[in-house]
Amino acid sequence: MNIGITVYPTYGGSGIVGSELGRDLAARGHNVHFISSVLPTRVTELGERVHFHEVEMMSYPLFEHQPYDLALATKMATVARAERLDLLHVHYAIPHSISAILARESIKQKRYVPVITTLHGTDITLVGADRSYLPITRYGLQQSDGVTAVSKFLKQATIETFDFDEIEVIPNFICSHHYKRLEDSPLHAELAPNGEKLLTHVSNFRAVKRPIDCVEILAKVKAHGKNVRLVMVGDGPERSAVYYRAEQLNVKDDVSFVGKQANIADYLGVSDVFLLPSELESFGLAALEAQACELPVIATRIGGIPEVVNDGETGFLSDVGDIEKMSEDTLRLLNDEDMRRAFGEKGRDLAIQRYNADKIIPQYISFYEKVLQTTEGGESLPVMNASGVQKS
C-alpha cells in the first residue's frame, strides 16, 4: 500500500506512535509518506520506502496567523495525487483529520483517498471536548472513513463526548528488541555515580503530566534515608516550575534534567522505578515503554492506565495527587529488591504478550484493508498481507 501519515512531528506520544507505525509498515514492504511541518523526531532515516514531504507555509502580511491547516491540506492533496496514495492516516484529530478530509474532498473527482483518524487522548478529552473545538472534532470523526482509538477508555470517552461509536481500539505498541533492561550500561554510572537507585519520569512536561509530583515523591523518599536520584527525561512548559519546586524542597542536586532524548530506552533500561503521576492519560505509552524495560510503574488510576499497568503486579496505582501513597509504594519497591524485580519481569511479559509491535501493526493493516474495501475505489487497489506480499 501507499500510505500517507501525518503526525505532530516534535512533541508527544501521538507523534511517536505514528512515526514508529510508519517505520514498521515500511519494513513490511509498504510505501510510507510522512506529511508534516518537519521530519518527525523518530523518523531517523528516509529511504526507498520512507519518504518525507514538508508542508510549505507561505507568509503574507495579511495573515495574522499562518493557516497551517490549509497548507497541510494542500500538501496532502498534492502528495496523494502524485504518489497515488491509497489512504491518509492522521494521528491526533485536531487539525489533522480536518486537513485530510479537506484534501480528500478537493481531489475526489480524480480519485477517492480515504482518511483514517487515530485518536490519542487530549484531542478528545481536552482540546476536542472544549466548546470551541467540539463541533469541528465531531465533524472530523463523522467524516473520517475510519477511526481508531488507543484504548478502551478513549473509545468510551469519545462515545460519551461526541456520541460517536464507530471506533476500533488499537492500542499503543513497543518493539521488544528495542525496549529492554540494560545491565552494565555506562549511562547508569553517569546517572547514579554513587550507586543511587534511579526514579525516572518521561514526558513532555505539560501540566496534565503533573511532573512536579515527581520531585514531591523524590523528597519524601529521600526523607526516609534512601540513596536515590530522579531522572527527568523530556522538556516542556512545566520544566521551570519543576526545577523551582526541587529547589524549594532542597532536592535540586538529586535531580538530573536530561532534556529531550532521541533514545528513551537508554534511560529506562538503567532505571529502577518509573513515575507517571499524570492527571489524565488515555493510554500511557511511557508506562508501557517502562514496563518493557522491566521497570515497575508508579502511576495514577486514571484513563487507560489500568489497561496497561496491573495494580499490585507490574506497578502500583493511586488517585491523582496522592503523593503520600505514591511515595510509600515507591519505598516498598526500593526496599524489596525481589518485589521490584518480580514486578519488572511481569511488566515486560505483559508488554510483550499484549503490546508487541508484531501483534499491533497487523491490526492497523487489517483496519486499512477493511476501510479500503468499504470505500469507493478501494476494490481496485492492491492489498498486501502483513508481510508486505500482495494478496491475490
On the 0-12 / 13-18 / 19+ scale of CB atoms within 10 A, 306 is: middle
Q: Decide whether 277 or 284 has the Cβ nearer to ligand GMT.
A: 284
Smallest gap from Cβ 150 to ligand GMT, in A, equals: 4
Member of 9, 22, 121, 269 binding ligand GMT (CB under 6 A): 121
Q: Decide whether 187 or 208 has the Cβ nearer to ligand GMT.
A: 208
Which range in 12-20, 315-323, 331-339, 362-370 contacts ligand GMT by CB under 6 A?
12-20
Member of 172, 291, 300, 318 binding ligand GMT (CB under 6 A): 172
C-alpha cell at 268: 529506562
Q: Decide whether 213 or 254 has the Cβ nearer to ligand GMT.
A: 213
Three-state DSSP at 260 gives: coil
Member of 129, 208, 342, 352 binding ligand GMT (CB under 6 A): 208
Sheet holding 255-259, edge to edge: 255-259, 228-233, 197-202, 273-276, 297-300, 315-318
120 makes contact with ligand GMT (CB under 6 A): yes
**Pairing verdict, β 50-54 and 31-36:** parallel
Smallest gap from Cβ 129 to ligand GMT, in A, equals: 12
C-alpha cell at 351: 508488554
Q: Decide whether 126 or 389 has the Cβ nearer to ligand GMT.
A: 126
- DSSP 8-state class, residue 174: B
Question: CB neighbours (10 Å) of residue 10?
Answer: 14
- Name the helix (H) or strand (E) containing 91: strand 87-91
Which range in 6-14, 23-31, 51-59, 157-165 contacts ligand GMT by CB under 6 A?
6-14
Sheet holding 146-149, edge to edge: 50-54, 31-36, 2-6, 87-91, 115-119, 146-149, 168-169
Q: Which of residues 211-250 bind ligand GMT (CB under 6 A)?
A: none
Smallest gap from Cβ 7 to ligand GMT, in A, equals: 8
Q: Decide whether 172 or 327 has the Cβ nearer to ligand GMT.
A: 172
22 makes contact with ligand GMT (CB under 6 A): no
Measured at the CA of 368, the angle between CA 73 and CA 76, to 5 degrees, comes to: 15
CA 188 distance to own-chain centroid: 25
Q: Decide whether 8 or 164 has the Cβ nearer to ligand GMT.
A: 8
Member of 141, 219, 230, 285 binding ligand GMT (CB under 6 A): 285
Q: Give CA–CA dist 273/23, Å, rounded.
A: 29
Smallest gap from Cβ 280 to ligand GMT, in A, equals: 5
Q: Give CA–CA dist 381/379, Å, rounded.
A: 6
Backbone angles phi, psi at 20, to 5 degrees: -65, -35
Q: Decide whether 14 or 36 has the Cβ nearer to ligand GMT.
A: 14
Q: Which of residues 346-385 bind ligand GMT (CB under 6 A)?
A: none
Smallest gap from Cβ 307 to ligand GMT, in A, equals: 11
Member of 14, 36, 97, 375 binding ligand GMT (CB under 6 A): 14
Cβ distance 13 to 264 under 8 Å?
no
Member of 113, 147, 150, 309 binding ligand GMT (CB under 6 A): 150
Cβ distance 115 to 104 under 8 Å?
yes
Cβ distance 125 to 158 under 8 Å?
no
Member of 12, 140, 296, 378 binding ligand GMT (CB under 6 A): 12
Q: Which of residues 48-107 bind ligand GMT (CB under 6 A)?
A: none
Site string for ligand GMT, 264-283 (x = CB under 6 A): ----------------xxxx
Q: Give CA–CA dist 209/34, Å, rounded.
A: 28
Residues near ligand GMT, by CB under 6 A:
8, 12-15, 17, 120-123, 150, 172, 204, 208, 280-285
